[in-house]
Chains A and B, each alone.
Chain A
Amino acid sequence: MEGKKIAVLKFPGTTCELDVVKALREAGGNPQVVRHDRFDPDEFDSVVLPGGFSYGDYLTAGAIASSSEAMRGVKEMSDEGKVVLGICNGFQILVWSGLLEGALLENINRRFVSKWVFVKVIDDGTPLTKGLKGRVLRLPIAHAEGRYYHERLERVKPILIYSSERGDVSEEYNPNGSVMNIASVSNEAGNVIGMMPHPERASFSNISPFGNPDGLLILRGIVK
């Protein structure tokens, strides 16, 4: 198969790996599911940490996976400038492992939130958002611990923020209490991206309830 080789990393309890693989194929990439204990970072151009409940969310979501051997490999890839994308639980793993700054706390309403939201692209300095600045995307979220927090906001690089369909940003459109309505952040270099929304669930127009595969716009950036 042509296209960039993308590792879709599976920990015990990861649930979204096949959806991510299908969406990345749709986007033109060459993804494959890799078990966390059989992961060789040198074999891949980039890596995606899919959503789910790694290690049963024990201790707290993402905590146990963050200290795994596989995450050392992910860090190597990040240091080499390869694209690292963490979706939902993958984002939680990235913040726990220190590849991204900040923390993801329990949603402010103390509920598991599962709904379609609008997010505005405010930074196109990452491979995933290149050329998308200002675009409003419709994507689903499904999480209990998605409230992004950082005590030093000057160190945060927001990529996607929760907004209205028109791109208005206010507390009204914030589904979980994230600081600054943050849905996604990247590292300083822009090659490590974490996001709470699930682009893979919005990558096929025939199964998206709104018919728009906005998730593909994001995922195409990882296969270019």
Chain B
Amino acid sequence: MIYEIEMIITTKENVRDPEGESIKMYAVDKVDGSVSEVRAGKYLLFRIDAESETEAMEKVKMIADKARLYNPIIHQVKVRSIGR
């Protein structure tokens, strides 16, 4: 079964994110002042063959760790399934 698994990589909350800050200050705030923070990151979509959703997510986490798709010192990673 092919599952679609999303991975969102952002800098950790305690690490400053100049890209997100710039996007907020120079673009977002001009449209709406109620946004308290913008953080920039990378989005990856995996289409992966697995027996179950849980297994698909575990596989993606393992790939991200082994392939060093992110730097654990500065990044946080969210993995979520959007179905089959």
Query: Chain A: residues with CB nearer than 8 A to chain B?
Result: 55-56, 58-59, 63-64, 67-68
Tell me the minimal C-beta distance from B55 to chain A in angstroms: 32
Q: List 24 A-B contacts (CB under 8 A).
A: A55-B22, A55-B26, A56-B18, A56-B19, A56-B22, A58-B18, A58-B19, A58-B22, A58-B23, A58-B40, A59-B19, A59-B22, A59-B23, A59-B27, A59-B40, A63-B27, A64-B22, A64-B23, A64-B26, A64-B27, A67-B26, A67-B27, A67-B30, A68-B26
Min Cβ gap B35→A in Å is: 14
A58 and B22 CA atoms in complex are apart in Å by: 8
The CA-CA distance from A56 to B26 in the complex, in Å, is 12
Known pairs A58-B19, A67-B30; list 13 more (Cβ under 8 Å). A55-B22, A56-B18, A56-B22, A58-B22, A58-B40, A59-B22, A59-B23, A59-B40, A63-B27, A64-B22, A64-B23, A67-B26, A67-B27
Interface centre among B19, B26, B30, B40 (most CB of A within 10 A): B26
Q: Which are the 3 A-B pairs with shortest beta-carbon distances?
A: A58-B19, A58-B22, A64-B26
Query: B10-25: which residues lie under 8 A (CB-CB) from chain A?
Result: 18-19, 22-23
Least CB separation from A69: chain B residue: B30
Main SS of the interface on chain B?
Answer: helix
**Size band of the interface chain B makes with A:** under 10
Complex Cα distance, B7 from A112, in Å, reads 26
A55 to B27, CA, bound (A): 11
Within 8 A of A (CB), among B21-72: 22-23, 26-27, 30, 40
Cα(A63)–Cα(B22), bound, Å:
11
The distance from the CB of B54 to the nearest CB of chain A, in whole angstroms, is: 34
**Which single residue of chain A is at the shortest CB-CB distance from B28?**
A67
Chain B residues, Cβ within 8 Å of A56? 18-19, 22
Give B78 Cβ to nearest chain A Cβ, in Å.
20
- A66 to chain B: closest residue by CB: B27
Question: Which B residues lie within 8 Å of A58 (CB)?
Answer: 18-19, 22-23, 40
Q: Which residue of A lies closest to B31 (CB)?
A: A67
Cα A55 to Cα B19 in complex, Å, equals: 9
State A68–B27 Cα separation when bound (angstroms): 8
Shortest beta-carbon distance, B28 to chain A, in Å? 9
A94 to B30, CA, bound (A): 19
Residue of B nearest to A57 (CB): B19
Measured between alpha carbons, how far is A64 from B18 in the docked complex, in Å? 13
Q: How far is the CA of A56 from the CA of B40 in the complex (A)?
A: 13
Compute how far the CA of A67 lies from the CA of B23 in the bound complex, rounded to whole angstroms. 11
| CA of A59 to CA of B19, assembled, Å | 7
Instruction: Name which residue of chain B comes closest to A13, CB basis.
Output: B22
Inter-chain CA distance A195–B59, complex, in Å, is: 45
Closest A residue, CB atoms, query B26: A64
A63 to chain B, nearest CB (A): 7
